[in-house]
């Protein structure tokens, strides 16, 4: 392969990468947000992201109009001490699944505009490093339910 | 004749002693086979006596060592502004409570202790904790009381401020790192066992059923 051809291939492959669509590559499932206990204005949302493509995707921001602040968080267990921290991004490697689930990654919704009740839905936007966004409507579920379903 | 009789008596005594010894040994073997079986709990070799403590459940009601007497207690430390671990654990504890109750066994008393007394006022705890189970008790206390109790139980917690926030915002918005362990007190009010993360409701429920039945 001569250099010119190599560069051409490189050029087109990067072109292809830039055009890879999150909408086609990423499947979102099991998305829900926890109903709020009385008096609480914050809660957590969970979902599963499956990347069926040959390239990785990076989730870089989350947003919901239901909350004043929406952040991607991770709970880490450091020798028995549980630390919940904001994370700047989450990578979904090629042909892999990342699950946001209790005790791990979660979407934290702070300063909710109103209490979340079972049966409602809230909008949620996931922004990826590619510049694309996925907009979802996720159901409000009881916190008790996700334990029963384990 | 007399001699034969006394010999017989000696033999009877020896046989009785042997039978008794064998019986003891067998008894011990049976007892051993009925040894307390647990999956998730770490039970201390000797239950630990803890020094007196005083928490508040409502403005009018204290929660002290006396409230541990006569029943098993599960205690968990957290804060109500915790969106992930605390609601998850309280839900697990609710499942444990219901599973034990369905078995016809007296369920343990469940106490959620807030290590964030600055924000978790008693009225807030009173509305938050029963959401998970109406029988659960929400408690908190003076910082020194909380610290002393937590230290004795090997529970850690630490307030984490966000340096990007203004001092005014920091008063309202901070995180609390905390242990995820569930502490078990026996009906004598002693620190009996601990459940470490990750928690699985069916395992904890089965352990509590076994523990309760074993000490009945």
User: Are A73 and B84 an interchain contact pair (Cβ–Cβ within 8 Å)?
Assistant: yes
**For B84, which of A38, A75, A147 is closest by C-beta distance?**
A75
Is residue B84 within 8 A of residue B177, CB to CB? The reply is no
For residues B131 and B150, give the distance between their C-alpha atoms in angstroms, rounded to a whole number.
24
Inter-chain touch B128–A80, beta carbons under 8 Å: no
Using the 8-state DSSP alphabet, how is residue A32 labeled? E
At A126-144, the pLDDT tens digits run 999 999 999 999 999 998 7
Across the interface, do B175 and A84 touch by the CB < 8 Å criterion?
yes
Residue B163 is predicted with a pLDDT of: 83
- Write b or e for each residue in B174-204: b if 16 or more Cβ atoms lie within 10 A of its Cβ, otherwise e: bbbbbbbbbbbbbbebbbbbbbeeebbbebb
Q: What is the pLDDT of residues A69-118, one digit of tens each?
A: 999 999 999 888 999 999 999 999 999 999 999 999 999 999 999 999 99
* Mutant choice from B76, B82, B85, B87 vs A, greatest count of A C-beta within 10 A: B87
pTM: 0.83
Query: Mean pLDDT over residues B171-188, rounded?
Result: 92
Burial zone of B58 (CB within 10 Å; 0-12 exposed, 13-18 middle, 19+ buried): middle
Interface of B with A in 1-60 (CB under 8 A): none
**CATH number of domain containing A24:** 2.60.40.1890
Q: Would you tell me which residues 134-193 of chain B have a C-beta closer than 8 angstroms to some C-beta of chain A?
A: 156, 158, 160, 173, 175, 177-181
Of B211, B146, B177, B76, which is closest to residue A73 (Cα–Cα)? B177
Number of domains in chain A: 1
Give the per-residue pLDDT at A150.
Answer: 45
Return d(Cα B13, Cα B139) in angstroms, integer. 62
Q: What's the confidence (pLDDT) of residue B164?
A: 84
Residue-wise pLDDT for B2-40, tens only, equals 566 777 877 877 777 777 777 666 665 555 557 899 999
Instruction: Give residue A32's domain range.
Output: 3-149
Percent of chain B with pLDDT over 70: 92
Q: Write down the pLDDT at residue B26.
A: 63
What's the pLDDT tens digit per position in B67-86? Answer: 999 999 999 999 999 989 99
What pLDDT sits at residue A14?
Answer: 52
DSSP B12: H
Using CA atoms, how far apart are residues B89 and A103, in angstroms rounded to an integer? 10
What local confidence, expressed as pLDDT, does residue B111 receive?
97
Q: What is the C-alpha separation between A36 and A20, in angstroms, rounded? A: 37
Radius of gyration of chain A (CA): 18
What backbone phi and psi angles, to 5 degrees, belong to A75? -95, 125
B99 neighbors B205 (Cβ within 8 angstroms): yes
DSSP code at position B162: -
In whole angstroms, what is the distance from residue B105 CA to residue A104 CA? 34
Instruction: Match 């579920």 to its residue by tokens.
Output: A141
- Alpha-carbon span B178 to B10, nearest angstrom: 68
- Could you report the per-residue pLDDT of A16-50, keeping only the tens digit for each? 554 558 989 999 999 999 999 999 999 999 999 99
* Closest residue to B128, CB basis, from A38, A110, A144: A38
DSSP string across B77-135: EE-TT-SSHHHHHHHHHHHHHHHHHHTTSPPPEEEEEES-TTT--HHHHHHHGGGT-TT
Please state the ipTM of this predicted complex: 0.81
């Amino acid at each position: 392969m001569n250099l010119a051809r190599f560069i051409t291939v490189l050029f087109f492959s990067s072109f292809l990468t830039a055009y890879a669509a999150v909408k086609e590559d990423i499947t979102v499932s099991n998305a829900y947000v926890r109903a709020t206990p009385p008096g609480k204005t914050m809660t957590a949302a969970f979902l599963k992201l499956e990347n069926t493509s040959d390239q990785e995707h990076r989730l870089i921001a989350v947003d919901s109009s239901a909350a004043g602040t929406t952040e991607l968080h991770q709970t880490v267990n450091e020798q028995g001490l549980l630390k919940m921290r904001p994370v700047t991004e989450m990578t979904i490697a090629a042909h892999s699944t990342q699950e946001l689930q209790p005790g791990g990654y979660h979407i934290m919704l702070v300063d909710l505009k109103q209490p979340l009740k079972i049966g409602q839905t809230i909008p949620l936007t996931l922004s990826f490093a590619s510049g694309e966004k996925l907009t979802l409507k996720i159901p409000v579920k009881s916190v008790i339910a996700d334990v029963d379903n384990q | 004749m007399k001699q034969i009789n006394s010999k017989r008596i000696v033999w009877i005594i020896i046989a009785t002693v042997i039978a008794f010894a064998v019986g003891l040994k067998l008894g011990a073997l049976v007892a051993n086979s009925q040894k307390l079986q647990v999956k998730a709990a770490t039970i201390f070799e000797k239950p630990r006596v803890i020094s007196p403590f005083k928490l508040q459940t409502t403005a009018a009601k204290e929660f002290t060592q006396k409230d541990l007497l006569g029943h098993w207690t599960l205690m968990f430390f957290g804060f109500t502004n915790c969106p992930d671990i605390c609601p998850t654990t309280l839900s697990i504890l609710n499942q444990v409570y219901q599973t034990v109750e369905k078995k016809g066994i007296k369920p343990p008393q469940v106490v959620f202790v807030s290590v964030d007394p600055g924000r978790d006022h008693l009225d807030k705890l009173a509305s938050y904790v029963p959401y998970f189970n109406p029988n659960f008790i929400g408690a908190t206390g003076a910082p020194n009381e909380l610290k002393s109790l937590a230290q004795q139980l090997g529970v850690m917690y630490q307030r984490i401020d966000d340096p990007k926030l203004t001092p005014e915002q920091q008063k309202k918005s901070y995180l609390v790192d905390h242990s995820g362990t569930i502490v078990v007190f026996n009906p004598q009010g002693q620190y009996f066992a601990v459940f470490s993360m990750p928690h699985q409701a069916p395992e904890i429920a089965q352990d509590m059923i076994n523990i309760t039945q074993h000490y009945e």
